[in-house]
Structure 1
Amino acid sequence: MIILADNQKVKLYWVPTAFKLENKTVKTLQVDGQTYRLQAPELTAELVTSIGNACRIARQHSLANMTVAEIVTIIDQAIEKWCHSDYPQRILAEKLLPAITGYDHTTVALEIKRFVRNFRKKELWRFIDTELDNPAILDDFHPQKSGQLTKAIGPTAIFHVFSSNIPGLQIWSLIMGLITKSANLGKTSLSEPLFPVLFSQTLAEVSPELAATIAILPWKGGTHDLEQAAIDSTNATIVYGSDQAVKSIHALVPDDKIFLHYGYKISFAMIGAEALTPEYYPQMVQKMAEDIAVYDQQSCLSPQTVFVEAGGTITPHQFAQLLAKALTNNQLKWPRAKLTTSEAVAVTRLRQESQIQALTDATIQVIASPDSTAWTVVYHQKPALMSSPLNRTIHVMAIDDLAQVPALLRPYQPFLQSCGLAVAPQRLLELGSQLGDAGIDRICAIGDMTRAQSGWHHDGRFNLLDLLKMVDIELGAEALAEHFDPDVE
């Protein structure tokens, strides 16, 4: 078993074992009476290049020669360790991530437990089967219906620029890279640098050879010499983060290299009148409050607006009032993270602007936590899609008919992500098509907005296919080869 912390020193990086890096303490945490000194390496462009090259060489001797089934099995064995509450890396994650990120301990523990289960063997095969009719083409040439032989080849190495808003999210991209048989160089932020390191340690317990193809390094975004070195030593780049981060990295990537990006997005919810009956509305309120509270809306999947249809047992205004009570209860169970000054100012500004509008517009009402910015509900009778400053701030829009929503979305089409939807079966598919036309790429249940399922097409794209190159051997080449077989007449 790998030692996680030596005298309470915790490394925030993972590199092939041949590298012995000079460390410095970048943060000191006091947790449960213990002191943890978080260690990051002193990095240079030359060192990043050397580490990237080492991962690519290790790939040639291990990952490139594994079958996809072997890779899936290794990942599954690593995930299985994380499914046990007494596993040391999970214990350390549950202890330190709340202190690093500010998120509530219960939320972090629960969401990690749920999230890692997306990558068990059966779920990984769902990812793969969703995109490849015959996953064996990741291993070798196989016949296609059109006659040729085809093999899927992934990048030799991928540079991942991870976001820091959601703990654990980094391993989604990392695992997709492993399935494409790519070496992986990940850049983390000091806002959440720990989880991919702990997961890489777990992979090393299961398969040191596979783990040697991975490097996880923290540095400040915008350090162009390090980023250029990482880009130059890989042939694909995947960026998660703000639009500014995406543009900054994109400017460094040559046109002949793969560049995938996942920038700013906005999500919302829609609740039909049929979900607001005495039987259903209490759970709709509670589930909506949970979607808002999980990681304080920092995920692109989190709702910022909820459209509530008139005609139910409770009115949209009553829904807003009940939602405020549910958010009060959630604050007691799962306290929101402490805000930075700028975050607190943003919430306060929205409250004040909305309250000023409400003085002359009776269709607006602000319901807010007293004496704090813990949560905010802004009720509107004039529906529109609106962003929020996050941190448990939600707009509740009254609307006569949910069919009116898609028209409100079209100006924001490039930024749309997920829609939590609660309607009867007779309306689900029609609304789904209309939402898809408007720009939405994921429709899910209320209460599951932050928990995308295996095989989800992130931003409407593929998890694997966008990284793969297809190589075809045509029938003519195959037939010609037969002529040179000395045993063929």
Structure 2
Amino acid sequence: MGQHILACFVPKGICIESYEEHTFGEYILEFPNLSSAQVMELSTRLRLNRGKYLANLKTERIVEIIDKTIHLWLNPQYPLRKLAETLLPMITGYDAEIVRLELKRFLRGFRKKDLYRFLDEEFDNPGMLDNFRPRKSGGFTRAYGPELILHFFSGNVPGLPIWSMIMGLLLKSAGIGKTSSAEPLMAVLFAQSLAEVDENLAECLAVLPWKGGSAQFEDVLLERADAVVIYGSSKTVEKIKYKVRQPIPVLGYGHKISFAAIGREALTADRYQDTVHRLANDVSVYDQQSCLSPQLVFVERGGVISPQQFAQFLASELDRYEKRRPRAKLVDAEIHSIRSLRNRYEAVAISNPDIDVYASRAGTEWTVIYHGRPGFEGSPLNRTIHVFACQCLEEAFGHLRPYRSYLQSAGIAVAPERLEVLAHCLAQEGVSRITAIGQMTLGVSGWHHDARFNLADLVRFVDIERSAEQLAELYDPDVE
């Protein structure tokens, strides 16, 4: 008999009578069979639990609870961490070592110091989440989070749902998270670990799987939610947004394209190998499934190695990476997309010396397409990247403008005196995050996801104006 693992988390009192089983090795994941009546009862229960407990907690206390939960996960011997490190590679197909390393890196970003940075980035005074706080212009302001947030999680990056769950808890919001069939486990395990630290707080969360688009669940919950947060394809985001009929905050994080930019000063004799290694890591982590992963790179001429040599070294590094940490197995459609791209450029390369293709021999494990001139093209992902040569990065950035609505992160490797100038150029073209190559897939606490706030966009600000404050003074019985 295999070990049974619940693929859901619900508050006490919600009775689930039957489950559907899916086997992964010696583990059996149990997915609940729910009715619309149970989902309605669940949303009501979460609101009640929040009102009794979470709504009355001070922000400092919430931070302490989350911090204690995260420190459980930072212990390599923690049973739920060991379970995640075992099961997530089976479920997602990602290399076990990548999952272990990246999950640890990701969770370290939610320790107490990082959560306080997160809050300080978004609120002049985070105390306004607890009480009315004085305003510089007079009067007072308080921020109220939604009572119930409905989260739609994506499954491309293990652990990503934790970001959304923590975001809601910091706003004192109850939350219902819909998991993805591609990764239905991590959010459940995190909720279970939260219950180990503070059972009452965990009672304000539910994590459930259901087939996307199921009207019997989504229509009910969209009517009852006070805010909606959506991760997924642009099509998924727009489809859910269309179904929201009430004037509530809806944050959608859909398809985005990230890229890298490498200056000649990062291609000196003592630096180019490190530069290649850093970029190969960004390309390989989670097989470019994250919207933070680079799909193309601009490389300046004038370094010790040429852009074409850079492409060749990158191909060799990706080959070494594949031997250490193999890419996940692909479905037929993904393989076809990569082979189609290769075939198209191999045909062009016959008559065009500005094009070259470097690819894994045995299969589609990695692909590097070299372009002798600057341009722009997205990738079919799964360790496939375009390398565009350019005389200077400013010239290359001119090719970004038609795609500005899709741009997100830029990993950059340039000298200090160029950083701010090039950052301004990138900002003008629509980029919202500029980071170091080698760090592209790791969003830091407090970053402005898709150029906006994470917390502040979900709250209601309530002001007590100075006139009301002054008038109240008149009614003080001790006033003279």
Same fold, judged at TM 0.5 (above)? yes
In structure 1, the residue matched to 2:16 is: 21
The aligned amino acid for 2:353 is: A
Q: 8 Å contact 1:25–1:37 — kept in the other structure?
A: no
**Deviation digits for residues 235-266 of structure 1, max 9, x if unmatched?**
10010100110111111112411111000000
Question: 2:478 and 2:77 mapped to 1: Cα distance?
Answer: 61
Secondary structure of the structure 2 residue equivalent to 1:25: strand
Distance apart, 1:406 and its partner CA:
2.2
Which letter maps to 1:13?
C
Could you tell me how far apart the structure 2 residues matched to 1:44 and 1:360 are? 61
Runs of 4+ in 1 over 6 A off after TM superposition: none
Paired residue secondary structure (1:251): helix
Per the alignment, residue 274 of structure 1 pairs with 265
Tell me which residue corresponds to 1:3.
Answer: none
Return the offset for 1:19: 1.2
Corresponding residue for 1:8?
3
Correspondence 1:344 to 2:335: yes
Contact 1:23–1:39 (8 Å) recurs in 2: no
Of residues 275, 279, 287, the one that matches 1:284 is 275
- Of residues 45, 49, 52, the one that matches 2:40 is 49
1:157 partner amino acid: L
Q: Residue 28 of structure 1: SS of its match in structure 2?
A: strand
Which string of whole-angstrom CA distances, capped at 9 and with x for unpartnered residues, describes residues 343-378 of structure 1? 111111111111111122121111100021100000
Equivalent-residue separation in structure 2 for 1:407 and 1:235 (angstroms): 41
In the other structure, the counterpart of 1:96 is 87
1:356 corresponds to which of 347, 350, 368: 347
Q: Does 1:333 align with 2:324?
A: yes
Q: 2:411 aligns with which of 410, 420, 429?
A: 420
1:373 and 2:368 correspond:
no
* Partners of 1:46 and 1:229 within 8 A in 2: no
Residues 135-157 of structure 1: CA deviation (Å, up to 9, x unaligned): 10000001110101110111111
Contact 1:301 1:417 (C-alpha < 8 Å) held by counterparts:
yes
After superposition, give the CA deviation of every residue in 1:424-479 in whole Å (9 maximum; x if it has no partner): 01110000011011000001101000011111100011111101111001122122
Letter in 1 for 2:148: A
Please point out which of 442, 459, 463 is paired with 1:451.
442
Unmatched 5+ stretches in structure 1: 1-5
What residue identity is the alignment partner of 1:415? Y
1:98 shift after superposition: 0.2
Tell me which moved more, 474-483 or 115-124: 474-483
Work out the CA distance in 2 between the residues paired with 1:122 and 1:139.
Answer: 19
Please name the residue that 2:302 is paired with: 311
Partner of 1:295: 286
Select between 421-430 and 356-365 the one with higher mean Cα deviation: 356-365
Q: Does structure 1 retain, via aligned residues, the 8 Å contact 2:223–2:246?
A: no
Q: CA deviation at 1:105?
A: 0.2
Hey, what's the Cα distance between the residues in 2 that align with 1:254 and 1:29?
39
1:134 is aligned to 125
How many residue pairs get aligned? The number is 480
Q: 1:408 aligns with which of 372, 387, 399?
A: 399
Question: What residue is the counterpart of 2:156 in the other structure?
Answer: 165
SS at structure 2 position matched to 1:471: strand
- Contact 2:174/2:205 (8 A) holds in 1: yes
1:26 CA drift (Å):
3.7
2: CA distance between counterparts of 1:79 and 1:272? Answer: 38
1:210 aligns with 2:201: yes
- Contact 1:137 / 1:152 at 8 angstroms: preserved in 2? yes
- Provide the residue aligned with 2:427 in structure 1: 436
Give, as a single letter, the amino acid of the residue that structure 1 aligns with 2:438. G
Equivalent residue runs for 1:109-148 within 5 Å: 109-148=100-139
Secondary structure of the corresponding residue to residue 408 of structure 1: coil
Task: Say whether the 8 Å CA contact 2:228–2:250 is kept in structure 1.
Answer: yes
State the alpha-carbon separation in 2 of the partners of residues 357 and 121 from structure 1: 53
Name the counterpart of 1:229. Answer: 220
Bigger drift between 41-50 and 135-144 goes to: 41-50
Q: Which whole-Å CA distance do the structure 1 matches of 2:288 and 2:195 have between them?
A: 33
Task: Note if 1:61 corresponds to 2:56.
Answer: no
Counterpart of 2:456, as a letter, is L
CA–CA separation in structure 2 for the residues paired with 1:118 and 1:45: 36
Cα distance in 2 for partners of 1:455, 1:395 equals 30
Query: Structure 1, residues 273-332: CA drift from partner, whole Å, max 9, x if none?
Result: 000001100000111110000000000000000111000000000000000110011001
Q: Is 234-243 or 47-56 further displaced after alignment?
A: 47-56
Q: Which amino acid aligns with 2:431?
A: I
Q: Give the aligned partner of residue 470 of structure 1.
A: 461
Percent pairwise identity: 50
1:215 alignment partner, SS class: strand
Q: Distance in 2 between matches of 1:318 and 1:23?
A: 59
Higher mean displacement: 360-369 or 114-123: 360-369
Contact 2:298–2:390 (8 Å) recurs in 1: yes
Unmatched runs of 5 consecutive residues or more in structure 2: none
Query: For residues 242 and 193 of structure 2, what CA distance do their matches in structure 1 show?
Result: 34
Q: 1:255 and 1:405 mapped to 2: Cα distance? A: 43
Query: Aligned equivalents of 2:198 and 2:396: distance in 1?
Result: 50
TM superposition score normalised by structure 1? 0.97
Q: Normalising by the residue count of structure 2, what TM-score does the alignment of the two structures yield? A: 0.98
SS in 1 for 2:400: helix
Say which SS state the counterpart of residue 151 (structure 2) adopts.
Answer: strand
Separation in structure 2 between the aligned mates of residue 232 and residue 255 of structure 1, nearest angstrom: 7
